[in-house]
Amino acid sequence: MKTIAVAIDGPSGAGKSTIARAAAGHLGFVYVDTGAMYRTIGLAVCRAGIALGQTERIQSVLDSGIQVSLKYEQGVQHVLLDGEDVSASIRTPEMSKYASFVSAVPAVRAFLLQTQREMAKTHNVIMDGRDIGTVILPDAEVKIFLTASAQARSKRRFIELREKGEDVTLEEVLADMKQRDHDDETRAAAPLKQAEDAILVDTSELTLEQSIAAVEAVIRPAL
Ligand code: C5P
């Protein structure tokens, strides 16, 4: 079967996952959240007692035979670590830091690459991440670079975290976001950057509904 792949890359907090999930639902595509996979490896590394920055110890976790897999229930992606559903545990500010930390390690990226490519071979996917259009699916039929100003992104993330009961300030969220942007953009392994053939969608001034419509408008001609 000829499959269609939509790659959506961009910095954290641009609304990628919410928008990609909604668009996938409307268009009948499978939504693949690759950030969740990095978060899951981050969780495994954290559980192994490895502190942020102890890069040389990460390989031992990969070698221990951990398994990161995806499961779909009513179209919703769940991510499993050795069979345990960790979808909720990976959504904390600490796991954001661990995800960013492990994602700079080439062996971690290589570990996840096959699973991500395999998904696109077997399903019509909307896959979001940082390097989908540049590294994972360079031949994707549609590539979108989804972004928004750091202020707009941190405000949205702040509201989301407060709704979940996290005790954070807007300043902390903005500082974390700027740090993660910097780390994601400057790392040697698959840095975050717009693919040459990606279409830029800036959601700073758009509502969620408008953002979803803008993304679907880019995708529809390829269907
Ligand atoms: O998208 P999300 O915020 O869940 O991603 C968590 C972290 O995982 C990002 O800050 C980034 O460092 C990393 N990541 C990545 N490549 C991807 C997806 C996420 O490096 N394709």
DSSP for 157-183 reads HHHHHHHTT----HHHHHHHHHHHHHH
**Which residue is closest in CA terms to ligand 1's atom 20?**
103
**Which residue is closest in CA terms to ligand 1's atom 12?**
100
- pTM above 0.90? yes
CA 38-18-164 angle, 5° bins: 80
- The token pair at 145 is 């670079």
Write the burial class of residue 26 (CB in 10 Å: 0-12 exposed, 13-18 middle, 19+ buried): middle
How do beta strands 125-129 and 5-9 pair?
parallel
User: Ligand 1 atom closest to Cα of 104?
Assistant: 20
* CA 147 – CA 196 distance, rounded (Å): 15
ipTM score for this prediction: 0.98
Per-residue tens of pLDDT for the chain, all 223 residues: 789 999 999 998 899 999 999 999 999 999 999 999 999 999 999 999 999 999 999 999 999 999 999 999 988 899 999 999 999 999 998 999 999 999 999 999 999 999 999 999 999 999 999 999 999 999 999 999 999 999 999 999 999 889 989 899 999 999 999 998 999 999 999 999 999 999 999 999 999 999 999 999 999 999 9
